[in-house]
Amino acid sequence: MSESYSPPPGSSLAAETLSVRDPGLLVEGVREVLKGVGRGTMSSVAYDTAWVARLGELDWELSSRALNWLAENQLPDGCWGAEKPLYYHDRVISTLAAMIALTHQGRRARDRVQIERGLAALDAITSNTTQRLYSDSSGPTVGFEMIVPNLVAEAETLGLIRRQSEKILGRLSHQRKVKLDLLRGKMVNRHITAAFSAEMAGRDNQHMLDIEGLQETNGSVGDSPSATAYYALYVRQGDEKALGYLRAVTGPDGGAPDLLPIDVYEACWVLWNLSLAGEWDSETRTLAKPLLDLLRKSWKPGKGVGFSGSYSIADGDNTSFVYEVLARFGQPVDIETVLAFEGKENFRAYDLEANGSPSVNIHALGALRQAGFPPSSPTVQKILRYLIRTRVDGAYWFDKWNYSPYYTTAHAVIACAGFANELAHPSVEWICRTQNPDGSWGYQFPSAEETAYCIQALGHWRGHGLAPAAAIKRAAAWLRQNIEAPYRPLWIGKGMYTPGLIVRSTILSALLIAEKG
């Protein structure tokens, strides 16, 4: 029997409430972050909010708040999605979903005007769809090639689009075929990653769904608001446990996150970031203990961990990262569980994965290093060969889970420093070479998050090669002036999002590292 989802007590602290402009408050900032870790802190995204907005006949209040959020968050050019960075996959899927929601539920003259502006914006995007979508260096958003064809068909049925269809779908045919081949002979249930994008089944292909085995214990489908809203609308209409989950995870302003809860994911990332900054005092260690207990409790030998305790699927990224964190804190678990994600050419995140991830392999490398594997180990060498093959210009990496190459590259430097220096050295040089004159870093625009990644990498590289103190000092000065939220959404799900406390912990970690000189 499923249980309705409700957030745990003490989890409402928002990253935006923290202030560490005074360097003397850094440690207190760390403690506040540790106190705030709970179900997860995540920004709202247009795509999932649009699905919640469709619920008018099932929950008028929930739907109305989501519609208001969409009305308030249309971009100046008429699209929906992240304003910065400009990511075309995010813009296409978010704009289609928002226009459909407004067509189904919108009743105001303003709604009609916003739909018309969205249509004009979508037409501008799709005027050269293939080139624009290929310009997204990290690839498609999660489930894009499976979800968008259904959105396009629905938009055509509603009379919203006529000319854009082939422009959008032509880019997706090969990717869709690859995913469908992987799913052949399988029913989509909570033990298959496709459940996270269950809305891909639409209204006509629900034979793909193992309906009895789809829902998680918290009432969600895949801990995804959009998949859960689809389930409540078209699979089991009005399912109260699904609606209970959606009421719990939707913000007071009506916005819905990309996924929630992320309790394991958030705890692991926060602890990993802060562990890079060195030893903690007893009060901070006491605050960290419940988070370490959560990670140990979540660990399933032979299976690993997922991004939350309520999610049925373990993945290679969180499994490797949790192993490394527990080992850093002197609580190692079995490395054989990490090795279960080893494939012929590299480590994978999920079993039904169409393309690999450098960051997953970097985090596996960090776990193997903590477990005592030497650089000469065949498994370590496999990862290093994969990283050499996938890096760009011999120096840096893009990844499908994060927009910024600084995210992936900084983690590679940290994993390799003093272990595989020959791989890390060109990356360190690239980081130093691409620093902005004001001390910041950023792939499309200067950002606190990306600047923090680079400080972490250069600080970790000290003692292993060139890591100019002046670069770290200038970066830290810029970061202190640009520390406050909101932070731009650089993380890639079905839309672009920001996990607030994770980003905050990255920034605090970087400033503490810089303070050490």
53 plus 31 within the same structural domain = no
160 plus 134 within the same structural domain = yes
The tokens for 152 are 């396009």
Last residue in a domain, options 235, 257, 279 = 257
Q: Which residue has the tokens 């997953």?
A: 360
Q: Is residue 442 part of a domain?
A: yes
Any long-range contacts for 240-244 (C-beta under 8 Å, 24+ apart)? 240/4, 241/2, 241/3, 241/4, 241/5, 241/215, 242/215, 243/55, 243/58, 243/59, 243/62, 243/219, 244/4, 244/5, 244/6, 244/219
Q: Is residue 7 part of a domain?
A: no
Count of structural domains within the chain: 2
363 plus 247 within the same structural domain = no
Last residue in a domain, options 198, 226, 257 = 257
Question: So what's the pLDDT on residue 4?
Answer: 38
Last residue in a domain, options 233, 257, 281 = 257
215 plus 336 within the same structural domain = no
Question: So what's the pLDDT on residue 157?
Answer: 87
* 331 SS3 class: coil
250 plus 281 within the same structural domain = no
**Would you say 256 and 54 are in contact if contact means Cβ atoms under 8 Å apart?**
no
352 plus 481 within the same structural domain = yes
Q: Is residue 90 part of a domain?
A: yes
Question: So what's the pLDDT on residue 15?
Answer: 36
Q: Which residues pair with 131 in a beta bridge?
A: none
C-beta neighbour count of 236 within 10 angstroms = 14
Looking at residue 462, the DSSP 8-state letter turns out to be B
Question: Which CATH number does the domain housing residue 374 bear?
Answer: 1.50.10.20
Q: What is the pTM of this model?
A: 0.92
Tell me whether residue 28 is exposed, middle or buried, using C-beta atoms within 10 angstroms of its C-beta: 0 to 12, 13 to 18, 19 or more: middle
Q: What is the mean pLDDT of each run of 10 residues along the chain (517 residues)?
A: 37 38 73 93 97 96 96 95 93 95 83 88 74 75 88 87 62 64 80 93 88 96 98 97 98 97 97 92 94 97 95 96 96 96 94 84 98 97 98 96 96 96 96 97 96 97 80 96 92 96 97 89
Task: Show the domain range for 462.
Answer: 15-41+261-515
Pairwise CA distance, residues 448 & 482, whole Å? 6
Pairwise CA distance, residues 275 & 140, whole Å? 32
**Would you say 29 and 20 are in contact if contact means Cβ atoms under 8 Å apart?**
yes
206 plus 247 within the same structural domain = yes
Q: Is residue 333 part of a domain?
A: yes
**What is the residue type of 22?**
D
Q: Which residues pair with 300 in a beta bridge?
A: 304
The tokens for 478 are 């810029």
Question: So what's the pLDDT on residue 19?
Answer: 43
Furthest-apart CA pair in the chain: how many Å? 67
Question: So what's the pLDDT on residue 171?
Answer: 57
Q: Which residues make Cβ contacts (< 8 Å) with residue 37, sequence separation at least 6?
A: 11, 263, 266, 267, 270, 291, 501
**Would you say 129 and 71 are in contact if contact means Cβ atoms under 8 Å apart?**
no
103 plus 229 within the same structural domain = yes
Let me know how long the chain is. Answer: 517
